[in-house]
């Protein structure tokens, strides 16, 4: 069985977007090199440096399903039903779109984080599941469902915006020492969650 990972690109001061959903400076690492990397979505291609390309492969090479919150899904228009990582998406929502089955046939809409992770694991089989929305990540951490916390740390300070992490329901959570990769425009960090 694969792992459940979280991944977001984050500013040095902990934000995954500005207050107006601005993210451009965070994603400079997607174009910081000369290694052309196509994605599963024909509308999206990347030019990583060596570290960025390696990080992208590590994050997407074994991903069998992605879990997203409804807000991120709406902001991206559901990635056109074809996320760049190439995996089906499970969206956590109480209110699926009326045209979900016809407009997003590769996308599942599930109520509740725990049910969404179960559904994503079912879809992924032996591959990994990646959670990619801050509110969903927070709830999954509180529920003990996360194996590794992944952060692409961008060299920018936003000062305000949407936080990657918030208050934990059960207090602090210990992580193991990080795996660190230094690249252009992002420091790639992967922290296994410590199991007691």
Q: What is the pLDDT of residues 9-22, one digit of tens each?
A: 999 999 999 999 99
Position 172 confidence tier, pLDDT thresholds 50, 70, 90: confident
How confident is the model at residue 119, as a pLDDT?
98
Helix axes of 113-124 and 134-142: crossing angle, nearest 10 degrees: 90
Range of the domain at 138: 4-192
Classify residue 193 by its DSSP letter: B
How far apart CA 58 and CA 49 sit, in angstroms, is: 14
β-sheet bridge partners, residue 28:
none
Instruction: Tell me the CA distances in angstroms from 150 to 31, 82, 131, 138, 187, one per residue in order.
Output: 19, 22, 10, 13, 11
Q: How far apart are CA 41 and CA 102, in angstroms?
A: 19
Hey, which of 20-29, 90-99, 114-123 has the most confident mean pLDDT? 114-123
Q: Where are the alpha helices (DSSP H) in the chain?
A: 50-60, 70-75, 100-103, 113-124, 134-142
pLDDT band at 132 (very low <50, low <70, confident <90, very high): very high
What pLDDT score does 40 carry? 87
Contact 133, 90 (CB under 8 A): no
CA distance 39 to 149: 23
- C-beta neighbour count of 45 within 10 angstroms: 13
Q: What is the mean pLDDT of residues 152-163?
A: 96
pLDDT at 53 over 90: yes
In this structure, what CATH number is given to the domain that contains residue 27?
Answer: 3.40.430.10
The pTM assigned to this predicted structure is 0.93
Number of structural domains the chain divides into:
1
């Amino acid at each position: 069985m694969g792992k459940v990972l979280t991944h977001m690109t984050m500013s040095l001061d902990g934000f995954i977007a500005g207050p107006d959903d601005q993210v451009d400076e965070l994603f400079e690492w997607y174009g910081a090199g000369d290694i052309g990397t196509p994605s599963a979505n024909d509308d999206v291609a990347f030019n990583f440096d060596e570290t960025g390309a390696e990080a992208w492969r590590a994050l997407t090479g074994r991903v069998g399903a992605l879990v997203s919150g409804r807000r991120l899904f709406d902001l991206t228009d559901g990635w056109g039903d074809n996320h760049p990582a190439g995996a089906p998406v499970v969206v956590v929502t109480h209110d699926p779109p009326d045209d979900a089955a016809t407009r997003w046939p590769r996308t599942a809409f599930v109520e509740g984080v725990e049910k969404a992770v179960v559904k994503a694991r079912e879809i992924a089989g032996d591959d990994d599941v990646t959670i990619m929305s801050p509110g969903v990540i927070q709830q999954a951490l509180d529920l003990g469902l996360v194996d590794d916390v992944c952060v692409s740390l961008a060299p920018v300070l936003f000062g305000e915006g949407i936080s990657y992490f918030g208050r934990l329901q059960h207090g602090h959570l210990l992580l193991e020492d990080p795996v660190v990769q230094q690249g252009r425009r992002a420091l790639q960090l992967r922290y296994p969650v410590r199991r007691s």
